[in-house]
Amino acid sequence: MTTGSAGDGWQQSLQAGPLIAAAVVLLAASVATVAVHRLRNPRRRHGLALWWRLRLRLYPGAGFARRLELYLHYGLPAARKVVRHARPSLRGWWKRHLVPHHEIALFLGWAQGWIFRMRTYATFEDGVLCLAPQKEGKTAHLAGRILDAPGAVIVTSIRDDIVGLTAGLRGEHRRVHLFNPDGFGTWASTVRWSPVDGCHDQATALRRAAHMVAAAETGGVSDEGFWTNQAAMVLASLMHAAALERLTMEQVYAWALDEDPTPLKILARPRPGLDTDRAAALVRRYHTLHVRTRDSIFLTLRQVLRCMDDPAIARMICPAPGEGLDLDDLLRRRETLYLIAGDDVSPAIPVLFTTLVAEIHHRARQLASRRPGRRMDPPVLFVLDEAPEVCPIPRLPGWLATAAGSGLVFVVAGQSHAQFRQKWGPEGARTIWNNAKAKMLFGATSDPEDLKTMSELCGEIALPYWETSVDGSGRRLRTRRWENVPVLPPEQARRLPTWRALVLRRNATPTIVRIEQIWKRADYKRWRKNGEVPLPPQKPSAPTTASSSTPLELPAIRRGPRLARPWHVRHTNPDDDHQ
């Protein structure tokens, strides 16, 4: 009896097994159907949605560059063609193929793939424009380009975290300098620079004064163009007089405020080999102008020289003769210069940064003119992060057009295209946009114009679909038709995952890349663990009694595995802080 009951239960289990298996299969099919429905792209009607394709590192979809085009237009072959004339020292075929990739190109990111990842590059003749909202990975990308740069690097930033990420590794091979006139963040300035140095040449004085006046905010003055020109000429004459007597910006500031006759006396002295008559005439004319005219010029000069109101900033730009930053050595020795501003940018900072970067650009062009191919080899990299806010160089649109022929590489970064229109005007912003041959546009922006621009640059593609209709006899007919749809609709451009960016280079088909996260690099991990690396000194907790003529040095700081620097304490989770 017991044996029979057990046998009946076993037979019932065998009969119920197929039913349970069928139920499981139906449930799995239902879940898969719902999942596919949620994951698919409604505009494309087939395949996974773009967000999921990017997360899974798959080909983004029709309309984006495939692997062959990535290799030909975004890969190293295109960079090697440019390097043949962009770097005269690498003209040999074997040299171009044996050197590391960062010696011949700018890495942009990985386009697709898990095992065979497609690396994308911009050449040294492509100016790069990065538009990214905050916390979308822009800083991490720029830090990687700083570490990879084979030549001198000039960096502007609105925060000092980029110094903590890159200064140690850059300092292992070349000297690192920090210019932080506002005293923002953890690190103090290691160098000072005077706009007066070199102004014994009248052309240098005119050039620097023009950049200083153009970068100052003088929007409240009527007939702004006329007064800025007059102020630039007067300021150039005062700086020329100060340079002749080896004075500093402190004297220039005093002369501008008090209409001191001292500069006129200095310029009136006979000097063999120098013609100071024109500068003296400008100062004399300024002193004899009608009081209202002179006041208008004075207001413009007051805006330009407001940096002297802050004693800390004034000290940074008034070094003793011979103690200022040597720009030629900076370029020849392939050193790194960081120009750091605070979150609340002082009105004086754009004036100083614009003048200093413009002078470095001029010196680089002068050095390049005397080298083979009239180029800097290796090229000088200008990483202008938050350029519209801290370094609004008036001539930047033109620089991007001529930089490729001089061995100068620009990576210009901002938060939106509206920032560039505000600082350079519609025409200037359009020129910057056109002259930047490689563009990296990050997602998560809410600006409809930027999203529309991203969509329009990617274009449209024709996709097939079936249209069902009924004829007169009641038969159902299926007709294949084609529909034009955007490659990257604006709503999908906004939803690009973090660490992803739309890349467009010259006339190549667009692609979407996964950018580099610097803290995942092998060299950065090695640096974090051990080694002696030259870094900017920490700011003293109390005011020091050192004289203004004491030179600032870069000490070697020893760090063991457990010793954390101040930025390490702040950035315990780099994935959160550097997005």
What residues are paired with 440 via a beta bridge? Answer: 130, 503
Q: Is the pLDDT of residue 568 over 80?
A: no
The model carries a pTM of: 0.84
The pLDDT, as a whole number, for residue 44 is 55
Q: What is the mean pLDDT of residues 201-206?
A: 92
Instruction: Kindly tell me if the per-residue pLDDT of 308 is higher than 80.
Output: yes
Judge whether residue 564 has pLDDT over 50. no
- In this prediction, residue 118 carries a pLDDT of 94
CATH class of the domain at 123-191+322-444+516-520: alpha beta
pLDDT of residue 39: 58
Residue 168 clears pLDDT 50, i.e. is over it: yes
| Residues β-bridged to residue 513 | 501
d(CA 397, CA 391): 13
Choose the weakest-confidence range: 18-27, 303-312, 533-542. 533-542
Task: Report the pLDDT value the prediction gives residue 95, as an integer from 0 to 100.
Answer: 84
Exposure of 433 by Cβ count < 10 A (0-12 exposed, 13-18 middle, 19+ buried)? middle
Question: Residue 377 corresponds to which tokens in the numbers above?
Answer: 């080899």
When pLDDT is cut at 50, 70 and 90, the band that residue 283 belongs to is confident
What local confidence, expressed as pLDDT, does residue 574 receive? 37
Nearest-CA neighbor of 483 among 501, 467, 504, 499?
A: 467
Task: State the pLDDT at residue 295.
Answer: 80
Q: Where are the domains of the chain?
A: 30-59, 123-191+322-444+516-520, 202-315
pLDDT, average across residues 125-135: 92
At residue 464, the pLDDT reads 82
Report how far residue 201's alpha carbon sits from residue 282's, in angstroms, rounded to the nearest whole number: 16
Mean pLDDT of the chain: 83
Residue 472's pLDDT band, with cuts at 50, 70 and 90, is confident
The Cα–Cα gap between 399 and 413 comes to: 15
pLDDT in tens, 514-535: 999 999 999 999 888 865 444 5
DSSP 371: S
Answer with the residue of higher pLDDT: 522 or 1.
522
Sorting pLDDT into bands at 50, 70 and 90, what band is 290? Answer: confident
pLDDT band at residue 31 using 50, 70 and 90 as cut-offs: low
Written as six digits, the tokens of 324 are 């200022």
CA gap 147, 136 in Å, rounded: 20
Q: What is the mean pLDDT of residues 74-78?
A: 94
Which pLDDT score, from 0 to 100, does residue 293 have? 77
